[in-house]
Structure 1
Amino acid sequence: MKRGAATALTCTSLLLAAPPAAQAYQVDCAILICLAGGWPGSTECNEARSVFISRITPWPVEPPLQIWNCPLGVGYRPPEDERALPLLHEAFGRPRPSAPPPFSAVVEGVLPPRSERDEMLSLIADYADDNGVADVDISGAEYDFVRSIRVYNVEYARQRESGDGDCRQSEKVRVGTYGVQGDFSWYSGSVTSLPDAFEGLTSWGESCPSLYRRAVFIEWTDYQGNYGYEQVNY
């Protein structure tokens, strides 16, 4: 527990104290640190949060924190080892690969009817399968903020009353969670499993009002247990 907390503090002080010229830090290390700290308002944390959110914006839907890309292991040195900070600085200084700019997945003006569009988008919805685990033991309670992250991809959720008075509902929801060592996985969910903070489907199943929503929702708690979330409708 003490060693994990010391590593987090060391990484935090390194990121915040780094000179302005050292901007090529590992983005997943920055996400890890800034998430733990409740996304403080710094240039590095603003960029880290932007990447964190953009990764869950279709398509594909990626793990927002890819902890396996952050070399935490370099921080696990005995306290008397004076080379710990230089090693961490080297890890943060490694350049990260550039990502192609996003583009529209559907051509406007040639869209099929909504029911067919739901089925089509469901088929092409892509989930990144790159995965891994942290290179150190993060099973302790000090890393619970990593496991608190939940991603809800509502590929489609539609409710309407039919001509014969029946309530017609169709939905497809995927939920992404983190394991003990930071590994990320997807499983099937439902509208009823969405957090209370999710907007747009609050009347689902009640008197059958007409509803339609496609969105990605992400929630988390920071190191202190403070709750945060973001919803991207599409």
Structure 2
Amino acid sequence: MLCSIRTYTLLAVLALLGLFIGAANRVQAQTYQIDCAILLCLSGGWPASVPCARARTEFIRRITPWPVEPPLQIWRCPMGASYRSIAPPNDPSRFYDILFSGQNRPRPQSTPATEHITTEVTILKLDDPDTRLLTKGLAFQLVQDRADIDISGPEFNFVRSIRVYDVRYARQHESGRDGDCNRSATISLGTYGTQGDFSWARSDPTALPDAHTGLERWGSNCPSIYHRSVFVDWRDYEGRYGFEQINY
């Protein structure tokens, strides 16, 4: 049963990516496309495909210094697009209902988040490039710096699982005068909140995941260490672990 759900999820991811990425040349709001692709590919464990390869490249580029950005900017993907007209059956804003329908339970209607800001975007129907789907006054309802629908449920834990460790520097050395071990480090941890909002907090070398390399001898005797890196890890929709590290 688990295998069939996994297969369904990956197929849904690939099919939906085709819907979004295939329409990219006909859509002016290009920034939406890559973050929707990152969201879908991350949830499916980065399936092997050209769209997912591009999405992962952008995901990693954003944490390549400098500056270090949120690797997933979920507020750029209009999941809860609101229209004042009846949406067509192939409306891309419904992709979450499709993606997570393998849970064998009805999914509640997406609840718009509060504190909306309105941005006018012109986008074209996927099946009719000559017809405007959104016109002036029929705008996406977007939320600044967080998802525009309620993603507090456990099915979106893969978003909140993303952690970004910005190791600005970590230095350990022995003082030549008195033999003391001098250690200093500046590390920030970036995490996602309940609604996909991203924030930074102070961290330290002991909090780095086991998969991180370069500070294994930190605190052991006093070998000379100087290390700088950005490390990101995550778990996909099914809980499988993944990570990337960039040293500089």
Q: TM-score, normalised by structure 2?
A: 0.68
Alignment RMSD, CA only?
A: 2.8
Number of matched pairs:
186
Q: Does the aligned pair in 1 maintain the 2:146–2:197 contact within 8 Å? A: yes
Q: Does the aligned pair in 2 maintain the 1:160–1:167 contact within 8 Å? A: yes
CA–CA separation in structure 2 for the residues paired with 1:154 and 1:203: 16
Matched, 1:209 2:223: yes
Q: Which residue of 205, 210, 227 maps to 1:191? A: 205
Match of 1:144 in 2: 157
Match of 1:83 in 2: 88
Deviation at 1:199, TM superposition (A): 0.3
CA–CA separation in structure 1 for the residues paired with 2:70 and 2:230: 12
The share of aligned pairs that are identical, in percent, is: 56
Q: Which residue of 175, 179, 194 maps to 1:180? A: 194
Mark the runs of 5 or more structure 1 residues left unpaired by the alignment.
1-7, 94-130
Q: Does the aligned pair in 2 maintain the 1:155–1:173 contact within 8 Å? A: yes
Letter of the structure 1 residue corresponding to residue 35 of structure 2:
D
Deviation at 1:18, TM superposition (A): 3.4
Deviations 1:9-32 (A, max 9, x none): 997354344398534561000000
Taking structure 1 as reference, are residues 38 and 87 closer, same or farther at Cα in structure 2, changes over 3 Å only? closer
Match of 1:167 in 2: 181
Match of 2:107 in 1: none
Mark the runs of 5 or more structure 2 residues left unpaired by the alignment.
1-8, 96-122, 127-143
Taking structure 1 as reference, are residues 14 and 225 closer, same or farther at Cα in structure 2, changes over 3 Å only? same
Deviations 1:91-113 (A, max 9, x none): 897xxxxxxxxxxxxxxxxxxxx
Q: Which residue of 42, 50, 74 maps to 1:43? A: 50
Match of 2:62 in 1: 55
Match of 2:16 in 1: 15
Match of 2:79 in 1: 72
Letter of the structure 2 residue corresponding to residue 198 of structure 1:
H
Match of 2:139 in 1: none
Deviation at 1:156, TM superposition (A): 0.3
Letter of the structure 1 residue corresponding to residue 188 of structure 2:
R
3-state SS of paired residue (1:185): strand
Q: Which has the higher contact order (CA 8 A, sep 6+)?
A: 1
Q: Does the aligned pair in 2 maintain the 1:159–1:208 contact within 8 Å? A: yes
Matched, 1:154 2:167: yes
Q: Does the aligned pair in 2 maintain the 1:154–1:174 contact within 8 Å? A: yes
Deviations 1:164-211 (A, max 9, x none): 211111110000000000000001101111111110001100111111
Q: TM-score, normalised by structure 1?
A: 0.72
Q: Does the aligned pair in 1 maintain the 2:173–2:181 contact within 8 Å? A: yes
Q: How does 1:76-115 map to 2 (within 5 A)?
A: 83-88=88-93
3-state SS of paired residue (1:44): helix
Q: Does the aligned pair in 1 maintain the 2:233–2:243 contact within 8 Å? A: yes
Deviation at 1:213, TM superposition (A): 0.6
